Structure 1
Amino acid sequence: MMPAAVPPELAEWFAGRGWRVRRHQAEMLTAADRGRHALLVADTGAGKTLAGFLPTLAAFCPSRAGEAPLPEGLHTLYVSPLKALAHDVQRNLLTPVEEMGLPIRIETRSGDTPSDRKARQRSRPPNVLLTTPESLSLLLSYPEAPTLFAGLKRVVIDEIHAFATGKRGDLLTLALSRLQALSPDLQRAGLSATLADPDAFRGWLAPWGEIDTVELVEGEAGAEPEVSILLPQEERIPWSGHAATWAIPQLIEQVKAHRTTLIFTNTRFLAEYIFQELWNANEDNLPIGIHHGSLSKEARRKVEGAMAEGRLRALVCTASLDLGVDWGDIDLVVQMGAPKGSSRLLQRIGRANHRLDQPSKALLVPGNRFEFLEAFAAQEAVHEGQRDGEPFRPGGLDVLAQHVMAVACAGPFREDALLSEVRSSLAYAWVDEQTFARVFDFVATGGYALRSYDRFRRIVREKDGTWRLAHPEHAARHRLNAGIIVDSEMLDVRFRNGRSLGKVEEGFGASLKPGDTFRFAGMDLEVEALRELELVVRAARRSATIPSYMGQRMPISTHLADRVRAMLFDRAGWSRFPDDVREWLEVQDWRSHMPAPGRLLVESFPHQGRAYTTYYTFEGWPANQSLGMLVTRRMEDRGLGPLGFVATDYALVVYGIKPVEDPAALLSPDILTHEFIDWVQQSYLLRRAFREVAVISGLVERQQPGKRKSGRQVTFSTDLIYDVLRKYEPDHLLIEAAWADARARMTDVARVADVLDRAAQEVDHVRLERISPLSVPALSMIGRESLPSGSADDDLLVEAESLASLAMRVDPVEAPEGD
């Protein structure tokens, strides 16, 4: 496409900074001038955010407006997955606006925004509003919404890959459909640095069936990242464990050698653990901070400010800083443990330098040998420019119910008009009239089994066919409880003077009593009192345990798993690996088999009087955990006496009294139609999924005016309703929604099905005299898998070395026996 003319005000501003308008930035302006939606895929540091806002800035340039008045009211919405990112973008956007003297008011809106400012934004909105999907949905629930959004010209969705495929994406796509109905000429723009399938995201961004209206804009190529893997200087790579504490001395040296180092971990527990280990080794008292989602807003803002001002030499963090936050002085990113996906790794690497023409520098620190292989695979994927990501799935019915309630809060509406809106999005194009009627029946009555209870009657139908709220108070209750993120219930951690440190999960907090100690926010704390929803603490003088969190474990991506499998089978490529890793694989190859693409390797061997079977699936921890549950149930039915199992991202180890002679029989496809349904219904999984969809749909309220329910109260309420529905209305809308969550997210049943598909084609069953080298990392986890990562690492290393000495011993007469 021919690039649009950049207004002279913008051109001069770029030139004054020694910059040029990049091709992709000009193409975003051109797409907007043509009235097109646009999806920009560009490397970190390519000026994506500025590109997304360029049409907005241009619209306010006097040279473009000519004699016409400049735009008034709300012109552009910016939607990001993180509140911190919205605040960062506000700071960065104010610079060109102020320096060019453009009459643009820019504000943020999130859960942290004061209520008086929120009210003023509805009556006198800024020109640009920076917000999140949840806050946008709430804004649409006010009666002022049709007037507020009638003149909206543009929606910019940043980091679109981070939430489009999940329930937050469902909520946002419904909001986009609503906005398009209120402002038909609205233009949509999506921004991302890491998309494996841009066309799929074009389909999500576009109104349903109008993918051709979305221009794909590809950014100029940037400098290739410099990604290396940190290896032990003298010792071998550990056999097991995830914390990689062996690297702490070398990490301290890296921190000393760089201006600012960002150290990513995959869990909040590991962030606390690694921070403490670094601090213990920090003899030079370098300023090192910690940042994760459970810390208080004040603590996070304080650390963010220190980073922005260059006062920290290192910051240990989690996914809370994955996205977009621009701190220009970071010159090294460290990934502790396995990266889990090439796109996630690229996103994290992009936090270093944050400039297109300079390479980002990253260091991967594997915790064990499988993690080394995963790090190596990720390093190659980044070098080759390969991406991975989650697939799109049908939109959730619980989210749709929440959206229907939001629309009702804004004012009376017609069912057929709303259905048309809803079906204009990719996520909900599948919804037919019958399904939509079920959603309405649920919002209006709670469903057949609950319709006799007045508190579930939230909307009513008038004689003219329009729907409205059953009572005005439902609007306030909806706005108090609406949202998509349903974390485990948390307790506030506070000093006696009221200063908040953040939150720990209720299950952990409830296990403490006065005098107990725990480590949080980098401090050792002693419990003084446990109140209803808070822990009162003081500084402790002795070391303590670290809270464990129930956060969802990130599985290895299918793309990286395939790469690791291919590396294991490529014997010629082993020469690239360290000596100890190469020896590990060579002994495995000699004593047993290597996992082959398209086939499933299964090993059986005796150990300490038990019969062990290892399934090398490479399908991620959730899928292997589900498979373990199903396989042990079948073993029980066949009299094999299963005693337990342990799952990792790479393998499933099952152990019992009698050996498994025919693993293929345990993996027949009908396991998903019989045992799977029975297991999910009898386990906690469906109850947990139901609790989440009940909260999201508004059936169960977490908060009432002036009071918030505890996690136990919410669980009690949802369990009670769940039991009623299972007995009297098993096909209830929310039971269906809970099943969808249980299949897709909690059990990863699609990847379990992939294992069964491979097993149906070919199972390489190898019978061994003793444990194999490849099974050592998983086998060493038995009895320790329920402990938090890090706390058990020392025990794991001792156990793994003992198993490894047995597995790596080579007997000349030994040979594997395979099917």
Structure 2
Amino acid sequence: MRSLPDAFENWFRQKGWQVHDHQLQMLKRSQDSALLLIAPTGGGKTLAGFLPTLVDLAENPHDGLHTLYVSPLKALAADIKRNLRTPVDELGLDIRIEDRTGDTSNFRKKRQRADPPHILLTTPESLVLMTSYEDAARTFRGLKRVVVDEIHALAESKRGDQLMLALARLQSLCPDLKRVGLSATVDRPEDIAALLARHPDPCDILQADPGPAPDIAMLETEEAPPWSGGGAAYAIPAVLETINQHRTTLIFHNTRAQAEIFFHKLWLANDEGLPIGIHHGSLDREQRQKVEAAMVRGDLRAIVCTGSLDLGIDWGDVDLVVQIGAPKNVKRLVQRIGRANHRYNAPSKALLVPANRFEVIECQAALDAVLERDLDGDPCGEGPLDVLCQHILLRAASGPFLADELYAEMSSVGAFADLTRATFEACLDFCATGGYALRAYDQWQRLQQRPDGAWQLRDPRTAAKIRMNAGTIQDADLLKVRMKRSRGGKPLGEVEEAFAASLLPGDTFLIGGQIVKYEGLREMTVEVSKDSRKKPRVAVFGGTKFSTSTQLSHRILRLLQQPEWPDLPQHTVDWLTLQRQVSRLPEPGRLLIETFPHDGRQHLCVYGFAGRNAQQTLGLLLTKRMEDLGLAPLGFVSTDYATLIWGLDPVTDAAPLLDRNALRSGLDGWLAGNALMKRTFRGVATIAGLIERNIKGQRKSGRQATFSSDILYDTLLKYDPDHLLMKITRTQAMRGLVDFERIDEMLDRVGPRIDLLALDRVTPFAAPLLLEVGKVYVGGSAEERLLAEEEAALMAAAGLTDPLPQTTNKATKSA
């Protein structure tokens, strides 16, 4: 059992710091094969993770790489490097610390492989690439520890699965490797521990004192939030006043579009000229770094941001976090709250700003969950097979391998612990030949088996292509944005390719908080110029629309059952009271469905509380069911809480619409040729290595990649529907954008308890959906009926009593 050396104790004393118990425990348990530390933000968990490394290197000089630190963000690696230099320099330790990310030069990356530092700070993608080189065994020779920071953020994505496969590879190269996980927000500690450990080895969990409860509330504003919308513009005066009362404020948004729009409106209202910045992932790297440097210096009073600042970067003087819009996820909210008062003994301070009336309820439910330390999250699922296929190709790029050894290595990863040999062989066959329908094409013949049984690349030159296309992040196709100059002006950031294709010369949009005018597209770069107008055409970033978590949705339903809602503002209480008077409030264990006429159409509103993706899917399936039952739907719109459908005929019995077998059957038919399936297939095929996005010296445009993937999808659907990638695509579509699992959960939750209310007018809860953007229109029998009615009306107006000739009638409908 190791104790803290005198030199380190003296250093802590000189800094005026007290060594926390969990930091000493990490040092004492440095020989554990795997250890997960859960400590609150500001609790020194990063130093706790590195303390065994610093002590070991101080006492035992080491040649080569000793500790690998992996974080989800490049900025976090740079921040840790900056903070780690303080104890190293002040203790006079001879320790080399370097970072390696996508921003690192190729020269430095090559040198790091040949002469690695003692401590290397990197990201999952960079680590994966390092393990894919032939000299990986030499690079990682002597590696003793891996520290995975913010491990909860990686556990929820394919990046985490890819990282754990890379750690399995490192464990094969360095059998005595110790694994450490660090996090402040873990909803299922046992699941994260199982993810971190080498299966079936155990991983202990070290829980630090959680510290004081956060100081968190809803922002009080003079103006009530609107019934619908997501911009929270009504709150800008109150937000500015709050910024004035604090040193530094982080203003979080759920999407980049919302961040850009809010920043622009905030700046227009900023009469005092407070220094305010904006930070998100689509901005140019140089601009992001300028904002980060200004934050470190304390030059900014507020920063409008997105998830790019979610994780554990220490920004010093941040003393307030503002969350604009409902957080959708308690765990994410806790992570963001922790950015304020980044100290162990100080409560983090945060304010929530609901964008509309319904979000007031969600924000209150989230506040209650935070104070009860009740984090939400879903169990970790099985490892995705497209990631496994990519890992096989990357393993082949580093040299020959035996299938038995690789299978054993992959099975040691928690997410792939139940991987069958048959599934592994199917993945290996795909990597080697492309699968049954594609094995005749040379371009997918990538692996071959040698006489000794080992597998290797058929063509060694393929290794460079594999590395060039490695990774699991599937962003929208992005184009660089630059100011128009003769040789290319100042870079501003990136926009989606689809957005750029919609622009006409003269159109204006927001980027980096300024309005620019579209001039044209030149060599895959969007050229713009400054524009003095105060109102842009549109913000450019679609961003990800998070779905409200299942646990938070259940909390909202329970909150709605309170008799007087003592914690809600009066305007929301009045709104809920009115809903209760004219209809009902949704209840746990029951499904509320309202029908009412409005604007000449019949409306059906289903309050499923299943999250945005599931409610959207429910809209698609219910309109198909209505079409099958002759109920003539015209369209629908969905939010996290409800789906509103309009059509020509009233619904008098909801049970046939919600028949689970009929819904699933309709889903199967809808998915087969659907654009969503093609979109999912494109991501799967890119990750699995079937489609190359990057070719030496260039990158395929999104249109080119889509064209290639659509042809492949149609080919496999016709000739090989049971192809491995088709199976993966279906599984991921059901879990992801379709989210049928939450529809299943909703049906299990309500059973036969369906309350169908036939009302004579729009209800307070349904009214916001009439104003919601993103309406989906449905063609079918309703459209034919409307055309027939319009045709009859035109005939009557013309004084015609006999129907038009059949040929003319068809022509009219066609027109």
Name 2:206's counterpart in structure 1.
217
Report if aligned partners of 2:230, 2:355 keep a CA contact under 8 Å in 1.
yes
Please name the residue that 1:466 is paired with: 454
CA separation of 1:453 and 1:520: change in aligned 2, threshold 3 A: same
Identify which of 566, 591, 596 aligns with 1:600.
Answer: 591
State the percentage of identical aligned residues.
51
**Is the 2:70–2:148 contact (alpha carbons within 8 Å) kept by the matching residues of 1?**
yes
Contact kept? 1:31, 1:37, Cα under 8 Å: no
| Residue 545 (1) aligns with residue 533 (2) | no
Match of 2:17 in 1: 19
1:32 to 24, 30, 33: 30
Q: Counterpart of 2:365 in structure 1: which amino acid?
A: A
Partner of 2:88: 97
- Kindly state the Cα deviation for residue 672 of structure 1 after the two structures are TM-superposed: 4.6
Partner of residue 292 from structure 2, selected from 285, 304, 318: 304
SS at match of 1:418: helix
One-letter code of the match for 1:702? R
Tell me the alpha carbon deviations over residues 275-297 of structure 1, each in whole angstroms, 9 at most, x when there is no partner.
00000001111111111111111
- Give the Å deviation of 1:541: 2.3
Whether contact under 8 Å (1:612, 1:659) holds in the other structure is yes
CA distance in 2, matches of 1:523, 1:784: 30
Query: Counterpart of 1:294?
Result: 282
**Greater Cα offset, 362-371 or 589-598:** 589-598
RMSD over aligned Cα, in angstroms?
1.4
Provide, for residues 189-247 of structure 1, a one-character-per-residue CA deviation record: whole Å limited to 9, x for no partner.
11111111101111111112223xx12111123122111101321x3332111111001
State how 1:579-590 maps to structure 2 within 5 Å: 579-590=570-581
2:266 maps to which residue?
Answer: 278
Equivalent position amino acid for 2:79 in 1? D
- The residue aligned with 1:403 is 391
Q: Which residue of 2 is the match for residue 710 of structure 1?
A: 701
Q: CA deviation at 1:715?
A: 0.6
Contact 1:122 1:148 in 2 (8 A): yes
2:180 pairs with 1:193: no
CA contact (8 A) 1:514 1:530 kept: no
1:85 to 76, 85, 89: 76
**Cα offsets for 1:721-772 (capped at 9, x unmatched):** 1111111111111111111210111111111111222343311222212112
What corresponds to 1:41 in structure 2? 38
* Corresponding residue for residue 51 of structure 1: 48
Give the TM-score, by structure 2 length.
Answer: 0.93
Measure the CA separation in 1 of the matches of 2:644 and 2:28: 56
Matching of residue 128 in structure 1 with residue 128 in structure 2: no
- Tell me the secondary structure at the aligned position of residue 413 of structure 1: coil
Q: 1:575 is paired with a residue of what secondary structure?
A: coil
What is the DSSP-based 3-state SS (H/G/I as helix, E as strand, rest coil) of the residue aligned with 1:450? Answer: coil
Q: 1:527-584 CA distances to partner (integer Å, 9 max, x unpaired)?
A: 2221241111111122322334343310111121111100001214x13222221111
CA contact (8 A) 1:340 1:560 kept: yes
Partners of 1:137 and 1:221 lie apart in 2 by 33
Given residue 32 of structure 1, which amino acid in structure 2 is its aligned partner? Answer: S
Q: Which moved more, 1:181-190 or 1:670-679?
A: 670-679
The answer for the alignment partner of 2:102 in structure 1 is 111
SS in 1 for 2:755: strand
Paired residues of 1:645 and 1:782 also in contact (CA < 8 A)? no
Report whether the alignment pairs 1:563 with 2:555: yes
Which letter maps to 1:763? I
Superposition pairs of residues 286-365 of structure 1, within 5 angstroms = 286-365=274-353
Alpha-carbon distance in structure 2 between the residues aligned to 1:510 and 1:594 = 44
1:320-377, Cα deviation, whole Å (9 max, x unpaired):
1100111110111100010111111111011111001111111100111110011111
User: What residue identity is the alignment partner of 1:45?
Assistant: G
The range that moved more, 149-158 or 633-642, is: 149-158
Distance in 2 (alpha carbons) for counterparts of 1:783 and 1:596: 27
Q: Is the 8 A contact 2:257 2:541 kept in 1?
A: yes
Amino acid at match of 1:228: A
Q: Deviations over 1:462-520 (max 9, x none)?
A: 01100111112111111111111011111100122432111000001111233322221
Work out whether 1:229 is the aligned partner of 2:218: yes
Cα distance in 2, alignment partners of residues 47 and 466 from structure 1: 46
2:229 corresponding residue in structure 1: 241
SS at match of 1:331: strand
Secondary structure at the counterpart of residue 285 of structure 1? coil
Are 1:630 and 1:671, in contact at CA under 8 Å, matched by a contact in 2?
Answer: no
How many angstroms apart in 1 are the aligned matches of 2:64 and 2:99?
15
Question: Is the CA contact (8 Å cut-off) linking 1:31 and 1:215 kept in structure 2?
Answer: no
Alignment-derived partner of residue 183 in structure 1:
174
Q: Which residue is equivalent to 1:147? A: 138
> Distance in 2 between the 1:245 and 1:579 partners?
20
Contact 1:669 1:757 in 2 (8 A): no
Cα 1:507–1:783 shift into 2, 3 Å: closer
2:777 aligned with 1:777: no
Instruction: Evaluate the alpha carbon distance shift between residue 131 and residue 149 of structure 1 in structure 2; reply closer, same or farther with a 3 A threshold.
Output: same
One-letter amino acid of the counterpart of residue 526, structure 2: L
Aligned partners of 2:439, 2:775: CA distance in 1, in Å?
Answer: 47
Q: Aligned residue for 2:794?
A: none
Contact 1:493 1:536 in 2 (8 A): yes
Give the secondary structure class of the aligned counterpart of 2:318: coil
Note the C-alpha offset of 1:319.
Answer: 0.5
User: Which string of whole-angstrom CA distances, capped at 9 and with x for unpartnered residues, describes residues 91-133 of structure 1?
Assistant: 0111111111112111111111100101011110011111111
- Provide the rounded CA distance (Å) in 2 between the counterparts of 1:300 and 1:130: 20
TM-score, with length taken from structure 1:
0.93
- Match of 1:222, SS state, is coil
